[in-house]
Structure 1
Amino acid sequence: MQIIRTPQHPWQPQGTVYGTLLNFQREWDLWAPRMHDEPHKAPPKKPVLYVKSANTFNAAGHDLVLQDGVSEVDVGASLGLVMGHDGQIQAGALLLDWSVPHTSYFRPPIKFRCRDGYLGLPQALTPFQSDWDQLNIEVLCNGLVVQRVALSTLKRSIPQLLADVSDFMTLQAGDVLMVGTDCLEGGLRPRARAGDTVEIRAAGLEPVVQNVTTGGAA
């Protein structure tokens, strides 16, 4: 698999980065009993999206710096789909979608997801492959595998997610659509603290490795 390499200039998104919530079957099933509660009273009919603002972009080789009293963070391993000029997927990237632990997944909590440096990026992009619905992502903390994410368990497959999002918004060239992050069996995500090293990896894609620190600058 050819990788789009930028050895001296690590990749950064050139458009808007959108995250997707509740797009793994396990987490959907865990939340299903509460989907008819206030304030929504029904399961979401369209993909639930949020934006990772530009201040979250954390280029390859930089640490995640915990600030403002945050002592631990949720680890969200995701595949980002990078859009081309023809409205189709051009490339992909593993993305480390950090967030402060929280309990709301219906209304994306911006203050927990859009902190400085809370989107770990790979060194380079990988040209799109049609078999990525079968991709398996491993999450490692300090060298130990703490989660395996199977994209075969997506509620909306990659083609279906792109089609459903395109029904209500237009993705521009350079925009990135993350397919979602999976939870563990109990509904939580892996967590990391200062001093930990987290890596996400999958066959054929550039890995993302970040150290979690406190203070200073990433």
Structure 2
Amino acid sequence: MNFASFSADGQSFYGAVAEGGMVALNSVCPQWPTLLDVIEAGALAELEKVAEGRPVTHEDYEFEMVLPNAKRILCVGVNFPDRNAEYKDGTTSAPKYMSLFPRFASGFTGHNQPLIRPPENQTLDYEGEVAIVIGKAGRRIAQDDAYDHIAAITICNEGTIRDWVRHAKFNVTQGKNWDRSAAMGPWLVPFKEASQLDDARILTRVNGEVRQDDVLSRMMHPIRREIEYISTFMTLQAGDIIVTGTPTGAGARFDPPRYLKPGDVVEVEVNGIGTLVNTVADEVL
């Protein structure tokens, strides 16, 4: 059973994804006002039991970013071998340490919603990735224990305004946090076994054309290592999101670059999770 945040009739809800619509669970579980509260309470399994057999409450709705009130989102950059080679910086071996940068929930939208291209710059790009949601807090987590700290997994299109990641020498934050430039969803899939990540494959299509195609097992810094490394310097909390890295094939790496434009349709598919679909639109001022 998968869970999503959604809106209907001007209100926000969370609930279970069902055939034919959504099963809103807010009023059934007032102790957990949002899906983030469910994660923080370690109650996904309990929520599954609550949702079992309940009828669809909403047939007409819009997806929101899966955790619209997420407090901390940390992204791993340049984490596939071919992606590392794209930088052509003279290095031939995998980097010893991973690249990291923060994103904020305001930069994300939901499934079937448009990625927003701002008027200041038109280098909006896509990056298909798997995201993990921490379910159990921990510090200095060993790799062997890392998967025990994951509550759920989802899909991210880590949309980026490329020119703005080059505004300064050592940071990319301003190119990674434009409002609604990225998407996360469609839903959270409870994490129950290692194969959900170890056997996952990322496919990104733009207007039906495959642009990215790779498997998580080729990551230079596997997810177990990401959790170990990040939890060395900060205590991971329930509800934290780690966006784990994108394969080669982003629009910036074509010659000439192939950036997103209004009307484009971007699909990020991950087996065992689903497909995150977004259109592209210019910001309305």
Instruction: Indicate whether the TM-score tops 0.5.
Output: yes
Partner SS for 1:121:
strand
Secondary structure of the corresponding residue to residue 193 of structure 1: coil
Deviations 1:25-62 (A, max 9, x none): 22234447446xxxxxxx86432211111220212332
**1:176 and 1:59 mapped to 2: Cα distance?**
15
Map 1:25-174 → 2, pairs under 5 A: 25-31=81-87, 33-34=89-90, 45-87=96-138, 88-102=149-163, 107-128=170-191, 129-131=193-195, 132-174=197-239
* d(CA) in 2 for partners of 1:173, 1:213: 33
- In structure 1, stretches of 5+ residues that fail to align are 36-42
CA contact under 8 A between 2:153 and 2:190: conserved in structure 1?
yes
Whether the aligned pair in 2 keeps the contact of 1:48 and 1:106 (CA below 8 Å) is: no
User: How far apart are the structure 2 equivalents of 1:107 and 1:133?
Assistant: 32
Q: Letter of the aligned partner of 1:54 in structure 2?
A: A
Q: Distance between the aligned counterparts of 2:251 and 2:279, measured in 1?
A: 26
Which piece of structure 1 moves more, 180-189 or 79-88?
180-189
Q: d(CA) in 1 for partners of 2:273 and 2:115?
A: 21
TM-score by length of 2: 0.65
Distance 2:108 2:76 in 1: 17
Superposition deviation, residue 72 in structure 1: 3.5
d(CA) in 2 for partners of 1:100, 1:187: 10
Evaluate the alpha carbon distance shift between residue 182 and residue 47 of structure 1 in structure 2; reply closer, same or farther with a 3 A threshold: same
* Match in the other structure for 1:12: 67
Q: Percent of aligned pairs with the same residue?
A: 22
Q: Answer yes or no: is the 8 Å Cα contact 2:86–2:253 preserved in 1.
A: no
Tell me what 1:40 maps to: none
Whether the aligned pair in 2 keeps the contact of 1:125 and 1:206 (CA below 8 Å) is no
Q: Is the 8 A contact 1:15 1:172 kept in 2?
A: no
Structure 2 CA distance, aligned partners of 1:134 and 1:145?
A: 19
